């Protein structure tokens, strides 16, 4: 009965790793994957995560009962504090409802499903370009997806004017997806001053902000600095949604830990919104898994473990920043034509190199370097050992 099912293409991002795994070359490098690697190219489990897991395993009182539909209560409270700030008036006034969801993706999807059912304006504006999964997550939830200008290839920076114009001409009430920090794939973020202008414009038009926060702490190394955009929008008393992921900043990728928070105008509204979130979640997966959220809650509620986490997080962010400098310096030393300063200006896990599809294909074929076809490279997948090989490949691609 399934004979007519047609072969689907690989996912454009995850497919890069599939191709990499098939390549027998000893010099191959995977810069497609959005996951942290050590200097030795190995996945990293944070010490503080191991410590938390040990505590959990040793606690014989722990059972494996179902969590509530919205997940672990402690985890939800601590996650809201992490993103909105521990002194957030919205939290104090009980205007925030938070649901533990399946990492960032699941949080976005639950938020999208909720909006499709309960919000009057079904159009969401996402930046161009954006993380490839955004379009599908929102469209399949029933929202109509439009884009706003974001990246300017000429400057390899923000197209701020284009962004403002597009948001200004969006219908009033439209939803706007904003990357809280470390925009993926471009690594280009608005300045605080620009964020303030975006906030004013969006509030004046009644546009609803939906923040995607997949990299808090990972961009600058500071959890507070990376949440500033979100906090600006919460400080004005207005509504917003925020999807958080602990994949990158706690290295919990496969544990699928994240949270959706909805900031409402009043505690009353927040209670009703939460009741509807439960109706969205129950038929999707009933309730979320317990292990990853327990790790996060254990770390966030213990000041000693929290501090240890911030140190390990900063070390990951610093290694990525150092890779940016090493790559930039090496390209300059090699005399590779072009202005590569965007490598050190962009932030977060990725560099949007500006290399085109043909150049990417050439680098994969001739140098066994794997990356998405839009020229995005994961700085976290790079090490001092692999920088020279990458520089040779880029040099050949641009001069060849």
Core vs surface per residue 135-148: b (16+ CB within 10 A) or e:
eebbeebebebbbb
> What are the phi and psi torsion angles at 5 (to 5°)?
-65, 130
Report the first-to-last Cα separation within the chain, whole angstroms.
Answer: 50
Ramachandran region, residue 206 (left: φ > 0; alpha: ψ -120 to 50; beta: rest): left
Among 104, 187, 190, 288, binds ligand PMP (CB under 6 A): 104
| Nearer to ligand PMP among residue 215 and residue 367 (C-beta) | 215
Q: How far is the CB of 132 from ligand PMP (least distance, A)?
A: 9
Active site (annotated) includes residue 212: yes
Among 214, 260, 300, 323, binds ligand PMP (CB under 6 A): 214
Active site (annotated) includes residue 131: yes
| Nearer to ligand PMP among residue 105 and residue 364 (C-beta) | 105
Q: How far is the CB of 179 from ligand PMP (least distance, A)?
A: 6
Q: How far is the CB of 349 from ligand PMP (least distance, A)?
A: 8
Q: How far is CA 150 from CA 183, 185, 188, 209, 374, in A?
A: 10, 11, 9, 16, 15
Residues 167-206 that bind ligand PMP (CB under 6 A): 179, 184
Residue span binding ligand PMP (CB under 6 A) among the ranges 17-25, 97-105, 114-122, 307-315: 97-105
Please tell me whether residue 212 binds ligand PMP under the rule CB under 6 A. Answer: yes
Please tell me whether residue 245 binds ligand PMP under the rule CB under 6 A. Answer: yes
Name the residue among 85, 95, 96, 46 with its Cα closest to residue 298.
46
| Nearer to ligand PMP among residue 296 and residue 394 (C-beta) | 296
Q: How far is the CB of 245 from ligand PMP (least distance, A)?
A: 3
Residues 248-267 that bind ligand PMP (CB under 6 A): 258
| Nearer to ligand PMP among residue 100 and residue 103 (C-beta) | 103
Kindly state the DSSP code that residue 255 receives in the 8-state scheme: G
Q: Which one from 189, 226, 248, 374 is the annotated catalytic residue? A: 248
Name the residue among 16, 19, 42 with its Cα closest to residue 385.
42
Q: Which one from 28, 166, 189, 212 is the annotated catalytic residue? A: 212
Tokens representing 298 are 């254990």
Among 28, 31, 32, 34, binds ligand PMP (CB under 6 A): 34
Please tell me whether residue 247 binds ligand PMP under the rule CB under 6 A. Answer: yes
Please tell me whether residue 105 binds ligand PMP under the rule CB under 6 A. Answer: yes
Total residues at interface with ligand PMP (CB under 6 A): 12
| Nearer to ligand PMP among residue 41 and residue 254 (C-beta) | 254
Kindly state the DSSP code that residue 338 receives in the 8-state scheme: S
- CA–CA separation, 45 and 36 (whole Å): 10
Judge whether 352 and 332 are in contact, CB under 8 Å: no
The residues near 307 (Cβ < 8 Å, ≥ 6 apart) are none
Please tell me whether residue 131 binds ligand PMP under the rule CB under 6 A. Answer: yes
Dmax of the chain from CA atoms? 64
Judge whether 400 and 38 are in contact, CB under 8 Å: no
Among 30, 97, 103, 261, binds ligand PMP (CB under 6 A): 103
Active site (annotated) includes residue 248: yes
| Nearer to ligand PMP among residue 102 and residue 330 (C-beta) | 102
Name the residue among 176, 253, 183 with its Cα closest to residue 215.
183
SS3 249: coil
| DSSP calls for 112-169 | HHHHHHH-S--EEEEEES--THHHHHHHHTTPEEEEEE-EETTTTEE-HHHHHHHHHT
Tokens representing 118 are 């309960």
- CA–CA separation, 157 and 346 (whole Å): 8
Residue span binding ligand PMP (CB under 6 A) among the ranges 51-59, 103-111, 282-290, 351-359: 103-111
Q: How far is the CB of 284 from ligand PMP (least distance, A)?
A: 15
| Nearer to ligand PMP among residue 95 and residue 179 (C-beta) | 179
| Nearer to ligand PMP among residue 135 and residue 336 (C-beta) | 135
What does the binding site for ligand PMP look like in residue numbers (CB under 6 A)? 34, 103-105, 131, 179, 184, 212, 214, 245, 247, 258
The residues that are catalytic are 131, 212, 248
């Amino acid at each position: 009965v399934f004979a007519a099912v047609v072969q689907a293409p690989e996912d454009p991002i995850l497919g890069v790793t599939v191709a990499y795994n098939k390549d027998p070359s000893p010099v191959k490098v995977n810069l497609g994957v959005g996951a942290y690697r050590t200097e030795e190219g190995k996945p990293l489990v944070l010490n503080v995560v191991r410590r938390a897991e040990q505590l959990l395993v040793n606690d014989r009182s722990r059972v494996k009962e179902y969590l509530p539909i919205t997940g672990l209560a402690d985890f939800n409270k601590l996650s809201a504090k992490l993103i909105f700030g521990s002194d957030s008036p919205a939290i104090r006034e009980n205007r925030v409802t938070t649901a533990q969801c399946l990492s960032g993706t699941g949080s976005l999807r639950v938020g999208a499903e909720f909006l499709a059912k309960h919000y009057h304006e079904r159009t969401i504006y996402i930046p161009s370009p954006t993380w490839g999964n955004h379009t599908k997550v929102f469209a399949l939830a029933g929202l109509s997806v439009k884009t706003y200008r974001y990246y300017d290839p000429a400057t390899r920076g923000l197209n701020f004017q284009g962004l403002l114009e597009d948001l200004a001409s969006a219908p009033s009430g439209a939803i706007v997806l904003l990357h809280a920090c470390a925009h993926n794939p471009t690594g280009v973020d608005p300045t605080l001053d620009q964020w303030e202008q975006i906030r004013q414009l969006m509030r004046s038009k009644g546009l609803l902000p939906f923040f995607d926060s997949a990299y808090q702490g990972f961009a600058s190394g500071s959890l507070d600095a990376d949440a500033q955009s979100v906090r600006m929008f919460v400080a004005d008393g207005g509504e917003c949604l925020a999807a958080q992921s602990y994949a990158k900043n706690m290295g919990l990728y496969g544990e699928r830990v994240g949270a959706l928070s909805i900031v409402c105008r009043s505690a009353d509204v927040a209670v009703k919104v939460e009741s509807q979130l439960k109706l969205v979640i129950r038929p999707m997966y009933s309730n979320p898994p317990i292990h990853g959220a327990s790790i996060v809650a254990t770390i966030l509620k213990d000041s000693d473990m929290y501090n240890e986490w911030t140190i390990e997080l900063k070390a990951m962010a610093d290694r990525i920043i150092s890779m940016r400098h090493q790559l930039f310096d090496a390209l300059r030393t090699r005399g590779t034509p072009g202005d590569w300063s965007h490598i050190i200006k962009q932030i977060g896990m990725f560099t949007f190199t500006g290399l085109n599809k043909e150049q990417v294909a050439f680098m994969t074929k001739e140098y066994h370097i794997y990356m998405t076809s839009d020229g995005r490279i994961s700085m976290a997948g790079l090490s001092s050992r692999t920088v020279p090989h990458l520089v040779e490949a880029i040099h050949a691609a641009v001069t060849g």
